[in-house]
């Protein structure tokens, strides 16, 4: 009986440690310097406030250009596919374009965003729109 209790205790601790590690994989602030875009995500608690759109309340995340006065791509739905992938549904803040995307965690600091079906992500750059490639690499911002 004692062996069973000990075994269950060890199993629960191991599972708990793994769950703690998994619960930070998709909670991050990510950045791509080449396209100057930031992606804030918390796919666990859905508590990301979209810049200048706080009336929407918490969302799973958003992608935006920090230097732009407005315009974001909002993650409206996310499903984590353990251990390192998440499927995202994104919509532009006007609601006129949407897409499916996959976010993959390559290691502690590198993520890859792949756009799937739907529109192409565009962000304002000066007075024009800049298309973001179908696949971009994002790095975790250091705090």
Distance CA 92, CA 106 (A): 26
**pTM confidence score:** 0.81
Summarised one tens digit per residue, pLDDT across range 98-123 is 999 999 999 989 999 999 999 999 99
Write down the domain spans for the chain. 2-140
The residue-averaged pLDDT of 119-135 equals 93
Measured CA to CA in angstroms, residue 112 lies from 9, 58, 107, 128, 139 at distances of 37, 23, 10, 25, 9
Look-up of token digits 């965003």: 113
Summarised one tens digit per residue, pLDDT across range 6-21 is 344 444 443 333 444 4
């Amino acid at each position: 009986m004692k062996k069973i209790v000990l075994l269950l205790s060890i199993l629960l601790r191991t599972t708990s440690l793994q769950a703690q590690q998994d619960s930070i994989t998709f909670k991050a602030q990510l950045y791509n310097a080449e396209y100057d875009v930031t992606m804030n995500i918390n796919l666990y608690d859905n508590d990301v406030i979209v810049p200048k759109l706080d009336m929407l309340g918490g969302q799973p995340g958003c992608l935006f250009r920090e230097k732009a006065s407005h315009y974001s791509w909002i993650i409206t739905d996310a499903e984590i596919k353990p251990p390192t992938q998440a499927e995202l549904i994104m919509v532009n803040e006007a609601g006129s374009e949407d897409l499916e995307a996959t976010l993959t965690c390559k290691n502690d600091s590198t993520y890859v965003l792949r756009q799937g079906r739907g529109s192409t992500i565009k962000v304002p750059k000066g007075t024009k729109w800049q298309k973001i490639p179908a696949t971009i690499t994002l790095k975790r911002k250091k705090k």
